[in-house]
Chains A and B, each alone.
Chain A
Amino acid sequence: KAGVTQTPRYLIKTRGQQVTLSCSPISGHRSVSWYQQTPGQGLQFLFEYFSETQRNKGNFPGRFSGRQFSNSRSEMNVSTLELGDSALYLCASSETDRGNEQFFGPGTRLTVL
């Protein structure tokens, strides 16, 4: 099976713009989680989707949002970008909602200038 794919891999935006990142989970996986990784804060949980429903959300402002489609693909959106949003955004998928390990994608490196 193909692994988790994320597009784009690299992105450069300016302050105030908005951005949409995409994640395609492993075929058959229905749960998708998003994480932000920065050198200062490490890996931080953003939100998790299962069957198109957001079931958990981390401590991030409302500028960060996401959604999941019926084919389990997910997108996350960041509006009104700030310099501090520069980070590696990671998507992880798991097969079901019970006891399964998460498989991470390679991430999208977002740079905000």
Chain B
Amino acid sequence: DAKTTQPTSMDCAEGRAANLPCNHSTISGNEYVYWYRQIHSQGPQYIIHGLKNNETNEMASLIITEDRKSSTLILPHATLRDTAVYYCIVRVAVSYDKVIFGPGTSLSVIP
């Protein structure tokens, strides 16, 4: 079973920030939070990951609470091309740790 819970769906106005929450209350000390997204009929795309500090890259920002039980992915200026299913995953940072995807959040960016 997935170790994360996310809202089933969200809407966001184009040009506004999209804030996608994720709960991972049972996260272990050596587990990272990863975010991927999947645009219809394509393979999932890596977005960002972090352990306990906030992270930012060219795609998004990741805010992890101090107790690490939840996090928020922020897309600062959502565009129509950001419409996708967003997956929040917790896993140990080794490749052989199976990645367990939950149902994710379906984000619709509205013009």
10 other A-B residue contacts (CB within 8 Å) besides A45-B98, A45-B100, A98-B93: A31-B95, A33-B95, A35-B101, A42-B101, A42-B103, A43-B44, A45-B99, A50-B96, A96-B95, A97-B96
Which of B44, B98, B100 touches A48 (beta carbons < 8 Å)?
Answer: B98
* A interface majority secondary structure: strand
- What total of chain B residues lie within 8 Å of the partner, measured CB to CB? 22
Q: How many residues of A contact B (CB 8 A)?
A: 28
A99 at the interface (CB under 8 A from B): yes
Once bound together, how far apart are the Cα atoms of A48 and B94, in whole Å? 11
Given A90-B44, A102-B46, A106-B43, A97–B98 Cβ distance below 8 Å? Answer: no
Contact with A along B31-44 (1 / 0, CB 8 A): 01010100000111
A-chain residues with CB within 8 Å of residue B103 when the two chains form the complex = 42
Interface hits, B44-74 → A, CB 8 Å: 44-46, 49
8 Å CB contact of A50 from B32, B87, B95: B95
